[in-house]
Amino acid sequence: MKPLKSEAINYLQGTVQVPGDKSISHRALMIGGLSIGETLIEGLLEGEDVLKTLEALRSLGVVIEKKAAGNWLVRGRGVCGLAEPEQVLDMGNSGTAARLLIGVLAAHPFSVTLSGDKSLNSRPMGRIINPLREMGAIFQARSGGRLPLNMTGLADPLPIEYELPVASAQVKSAILLAGLGAAGKTRVIEPKPTRDHTELMLRHFGAEVEVENLSGGARAITIQGQPELSARDIVVPGDISSAAFPMAAALLIPGSKVTIKGVGINPLRAGLIETFKNMGGAITLENFSNEAGEPVADLLVEGSILHGVTVAPDHAPSMIDEYPILAVCAACAEGTTRLEGLSELRVKESDRLNGMARGLEACGVNIEEGEDFLIIHGDGSVPQGGVKIKTALDHRIAMAFLILGAITKKPVVIDDAVPIETSFPGFVQLMNGLGSRIEEM
């Protein structure tokens, strides 16, 4: 346990660069490992979650070497070329690593067991298991499809057409990665567009990926199986989910002016920027560029008076990881904010919907919690604070309440900061460098 305390400050000022995008880092390692040749990855997130993916790939025979801080060389083994591991693959706390790697392994003819920490082993994997079973993979899992999980893939999985019951980039990606090994076309239909990092990166490495817009906002993604992927260098942009925290703090604290360099602004991922602007947030995008199909820009953020908004369910896929920090901003805004379509938050690292509701209530915020919504009644005043938040080992809840503590009347304490390092190494140092007062208890 590592409790941290966050106290009110005057303003934030400065220029920072957040760690590399976690979602892109996972995919760069996996797809690089399935390619022929050497892939140089610059800006890889070196948090625990991504390092678990790295170590798992090494156990599967991929040679990965560190060249410098954030720079790693991956010598790929080709599609379906991974080797049977000698031990259980430990995925730590990373649901992304586990779910995507299960998809990769479905196209390999050997048995493997995956496990994780207490949190990961409590999360359901059935949405991944069901379509991969249709492709021919065999699974033995605990009740509810939970880890530890043993699976046996096959050299020629069946190409399928699968309609996702719920929009999920992780499920979509697992099927597409399994489809790499199928003799034919694998097609995934998602009810609403989700982040497309997998599709963009597969194209970057030479895969044939088609995207078709369907009626009602649905989308179909088709991948041609058994391609020869060729190694390609990748520069990982800054993680929008990490940038969300200094961005929110700068918006909330009058007089603040913060620049966040080189952030990925993929439109299927950057819904929080649009939402903050709709709330009245002063955010300017500058210095646009493109990295392996991913749009990148600098974010200039200034202190603003925020107003309550309604965020409809169809916005959820583009900002699902950012709802904890959005809820904090809504608690300090003028007027009521209604966040809808949040059922996915209940199966993250923790029940994030309940965790945020209970934490905000403890800080004196008037909220209403439903099965898939959260209503936050803000009046523009500063929340009371003066509480210790139970984070349930959830890094995003931990960081969100540390940001809230920068403006509350009394300090906010989180019970354990250890999980923060899994996704945002250096978070405390970065925030304190801008002017925050976060310290160990």
Task: State the catalytic residues.
Answer: 321
Strand partners, 115: 90
Burial of residue 56 (number of CB atoms within 10 Å: 0-12, 13-18, 19+): buried
**Under a CB-based contact definition with an 8 Å cutoff, are residues 202 and 176 in contact?**
yes
Length of the chain: 441
Work out the number of other CB atoms within 10 angstroms of the CB of residue 253.
23
Interacting residues of 66 by C-beta distance below 8 A, sequence separation 6+:
72, 73
The strand ranges marked E within 191-281 are 209-213, 219-224, 234-235, 257-264
DSSP label at 288?
Answer: E
Helix, coil or strand: residue 31 = helix
Q: Which residue has the tokens 């900002």?
A: 319
DSSP label at 236?
Answer: P
Q: Which of 37, 80, 81 has its CA nearest to residue 225?
A: 80
d(CA 245, CA 67): 29
d(CA 410, CA 152): 53
